[in-house]
Structure 1
Amino acid sequence: MIQLGFICNRKTTSSQDIKSKSKKSVVKRSFYVPLRLAFKTASEVKASSDEFPAISIYYDFEGYLPDVLFPYMIIDFLNKFQMEEVDPILLYNHAQLYFDQDHHVTLSLVKFITKEDNRKFLLKVTIKRTNTLAEKSNEEPSSEACKEVLSTVEMSFKQSKDGGRRGIPFKRCIPCDCSHTSEKKHFQFVGDFQYKWMTCSKDGIFIKMDVTRYHQLFGRNEKSPHKEESKQGISENDFRQLLTDTAAWFDGLGYLKILKVLYKDHLKKSRVEVERANSVWDLLQDLTASGSLKPSNLTILYDTVKITQQFGFKSNVENQPPEDIENHVVSTLSPFRQKIYQLGVKLRKDEVSTLAGLFNTKLVKKYQDSWSLIMDFEHRGIIDEDFTKMIEFLKVFEINGMKWAKRIFVDDVQDDTEPTVSPLSVNQGSQQDIKWIAVTALFIALIGILLHLVSFLFFYF
């Protein structure tokens, strides 16, 4: 039963485990059996507090939540963190568990009614500092404890025991501010807690939601291991070679305009000078002059490779970029800049033409590609990091059937129409354009054959 994960030992001191019975000592063992626990009502579960300084994360299982998951998860938690003589509070769908001397954790299966009138069960994980008898703790849980708790809980979702458990898909989420006072809840999916702000437009009004606390307590360390490596630096000769190889690689791909967009926050030259730059080398020289790129700090180059997913790039400098570049954490290019890159990648040529007509009423501009449009729109303030200025821009996308663009900037929007294209596909035309040209050419060829046949018959008859 222990090996199957149905029960776990209750830790007790040896003096209590061994009792004298006649001449022989008998070892008494106690077990926790979560599958036999009593059920707690929904109203009782909701009563468990998650007010500050406690913090709660919810898990959405996308419609699949087996009954045995919660008992299994309790077993996993007790096996790892159980303390002698400290009994947890255990029910079939609710548990208050010891984590360490400073923290305790509450796990609950809670039912919600969403704004779409759907009923769903979510797993609520609440982490809180342990109070003393003298006073109530007002201190936040530590980031290390928060990450360890989530790691343990999520391992229960992913692992399989003796072939009897399969991985369970899940998403991390938190209640959205838009439904704070409502009985019908809306939840924001928080991913890997990489953002400090999230946006919501569920009620037709854009609101900005501060999630900095979740980012600080649960997010990964923003310091990339490659930052530490680059502090030692490379030689000046290697640095020049690396810049030469980088420029050759990205110029060969035709990524000059893409990098102009990505590096906008770091380039110190004027907009006109940046527009006139005709090679990636010019941009790298500007980054070097501004101090954003130097032999002791190559982070922005690693960020570039990671965002553009050019993992095949290898320079003539040993271990540059590093072998594990795919695990690099982007830090010099802001989340907004990364979203702008996604926008540029996914904009098709016909969509660029549509936007050019809608936003240039006096003099229609013809943009060569999406990157030219983005640079112009950023200069004019149509595209701006201030989300309030982006609202009208995103409305135009939605009105014209480009709902996928909203998904890039508003995290909770779900849309299956999002296109998947390469960064330079806008220069090649859409597949619909190619199909139309092929059909037209075939039609013209058939007309030619028909006219030739008519001429032949007329000549002989």
Structure 2
Amino acid sequence: MTGTDSDDSQVFRNRSDFEFKDHKVSLGAVQIKRENEKPHAIKLQIYRRKEQSYDTEVGGAKPKKRQLQPSVCMKVLSYLKDQLQTVCNIYEGSGYKLRVVCDACNPKEHHLVDLEKCLKNDVVPCGTDTSMNTAHIKRYFSKGVVGASSSYPDLSEDEFKQLITEFAQWYDERGLLNRLKVLFKEMLGDFEALNRVTSTFDLLALLTDSGLLSRQKMSVLYDTIQITKQNGFEDMVKNKLPFFQSFKTQTTLSFSPHTINLFNLGKSLSDLDMKTLDGRFNFPVLKKYDDRWSLILDLESRGLLSEDKLESVEKDVLKR
């Protein structure tokens, strides 16, 4: 099982390709060489198609690389597990294991590591003297983490809803919704749905529907509190909701480096910076954005603040 941001898929026999949103999923039979055995195996690869965006510097369309959406990866994994379990139920004595390609050793060796071990551990051993960091696996398939509930208080469904209510009210009262939209845009991947969001409640509902937030999986709340510097929320909610003790620090950050860079850019924009960017990318029909976060959302959704352009915008347009 592999994931990549490229659309350069490898061709192998007996392969079936299908589309899921703007992702392509390839599934096919492969042979694994092992001493004294030839196990049946299938190879799953997930790609996200590149997006053609207009490059205002060069003057033409240019493909923009985009990261895989965790919600898509988790849905594909869930579907695969369901289908494999169906097969195992039909054929007595059959079973399956999910493995990922190790990126810590020589790629020619095609060493595989157990997916569940990757999701339960920060590092997994590879060979005798090498270990693979599993942060990138958890980012895309974190819904499958085994035992994740032990990282958080054992909340009932009603208690979880109370916590979500306090979280939403806290952020809405402080007018932080557009900041949250910037943080969750890449993770959710659906800009149209995000654009319809008018409250933090709506946003949290999208996260829940995408499998990114649940009673057993609240790291995204903790990471949001940390990056937005709203640590007072945790102190408030501990006093208001006796059943809640604390969020536990996670080793895997929910947000990608690009999202964090966009968020930091938003925090640093001055009124003059906003006018400069509005003029640079929207002249002569200026948009006169309500706030810096609306500007970031708009420009990023148009491919003007993509990973490969963000640095040049800061350097050449904002003169930093």
| Structure-1-length-normalised TM-score | 0.36
Alignment of 1:53-452 (within 5 A): 141-142=129-130, 216=133, 227=148, 229-230=150-151, 233-267=154-188, 270-314=190-234, 315=237, 316-318=240-242, 320=244, 322=246, 327-385=249-307, 387=308, 389-397=309-317, 400-401=318-319, 403=320
Q: Is the 8 A contact 2:149 2:216 kept in 1?
A: no
Note the C-alpha offset of 1:360.
1.3
AA of the residue aligned to 1:266: M
Q: Name the CA shift for 1:227/1:370 in 2 (closer, same or farther; >3 Å).
A: farther
Q: Name the CA shift for 1:333/1:236 in 2 (closer, same or farther; >3 Å).
A: same
Q: Is the 8 A contact 2:220 2:254 kept in 1?
A: yes
Note the C-alpha offset of 1:365.
1.6
Note the C-alpha offset of 1:359.
1.3
Partner SS, residue 275 of structure 1:
helix
Q: Determine the C-alpha separation between the residues in 1 that align with 2:206 and 2:195.
A: 13
Q: Is the 8 A contact 1:250 1:256 kept in 2?
A: yes
Name structure 2 gaps, 5 residues minimum: 1-126
Q: Equivalent residue for 2:54?
A: none
Q: Is the 8 A contact 1:303 1:329 kept in 2?
A: no
Higher Cα radius of gyration: 1
AA of the residue aligned to 1:306: Q
Q: Determine the C-alpha separation between the residues in 2 that align with 1:289 and 1:306.
A: 23
AA of the residue aligned to 2:211: G
Q: Determine the C-alpha separation between the residues in 2 that align with 1:236 and 1:274.
A: 25
Q: Is the 8 A contact 2:170 2:233 kept in 1?
A: yes
Which structure carries more relative contact order (alpha carbon 8 Å, separation 6+)? 2
Partner SS, residue 186 of structure 2:
coil
Note the C-alpha offset of 1:333.
1.2
Structure 1 vs Structure 2 CA RMSD: 3.5
AA of the residue aligned to 1:322: S
Q: Determine the C-alpha separation between the residues in 2 that align with 1:253 and 1:357.
A: 29
AA of the residue aligned to 1:369: D
Q: Determine the C-alpha separation between the residues in 1 that align with 2:167 and 2:294.
A: 22
Q: Determine the C-alpha separation between the residues in 1 that align with 2:174 and 2:252.
A: 21
Q: Name the CA shift for 1:365/1:251 in 2 (closer, same or farther; >3 Å).
A: same
Partner SS, residue 295 of structure 1:
coil
Instruction: Provide Cα deviations, 1:257-304, integer angstroms capped at 9, x if missing partner.
Output: 000110112336x43332232211110011111111011111111111
Q: Indicate the structure with greater helix content.
A: 2
Q: Determine the C-alpha separation between the residues in 1 that align with 2:245 and 2:260.
A: 20
Q: Equivalent residue for 1:133?
A: none
Note the C-alpha offset of 1:361.
2.5
Q: Determine the C-alpha separation between the residues in 1 that align with 2:186 and 2:294.
A: 17
Q: Determine the C-alpha separation between the residues in 2 that align with 1:274 and 1:360.
A: 22
Note the C-alpha offset of 1:349.
1.4
Instruction: Provide Cα deviations, 1:337-381, integer angstroms capped at 9, x if missing partner.
Output: 111111111111121111111111342221111101110111110
AA of the residue aligned to 1:252: E
| Structure-2-length-normalised TM-score | 0.50
Q: Determine the C-alpha separation between the residues in 2 that align with 1:227 and 1:255.
A: 28
Instruction: Provide Cα deviations, 1:97-141, integer angstroms capped at 9, x if missing partner.
Output: xxxxxxxxxxxxxxxxxxxxxxxxxxxxxxxxxxxxxxxxxx785
Instruction: Provide Cα deviations, 1:379-412, integer angstroms capped at 9, x if missing partner.
Output: 1101113x2x335423323xx43x1xxxxxxxxx
Q: Determine the C-alpha separation between the residues in 1 that align with 2:173 and 2:300.
A: 26
Partner SS, residue 364 of structure 1:
coil
- Over the matched positions of the two proteins, sequence identity in percent amounts to 35
Q: Determine the C-alpha separation between the residues in 2 that align with 1:273 and 1:309.
A: 26
Name structure 1 gaps, 5 residues minimum: 1-138, 144-212, 404-461
Aligned length: 186
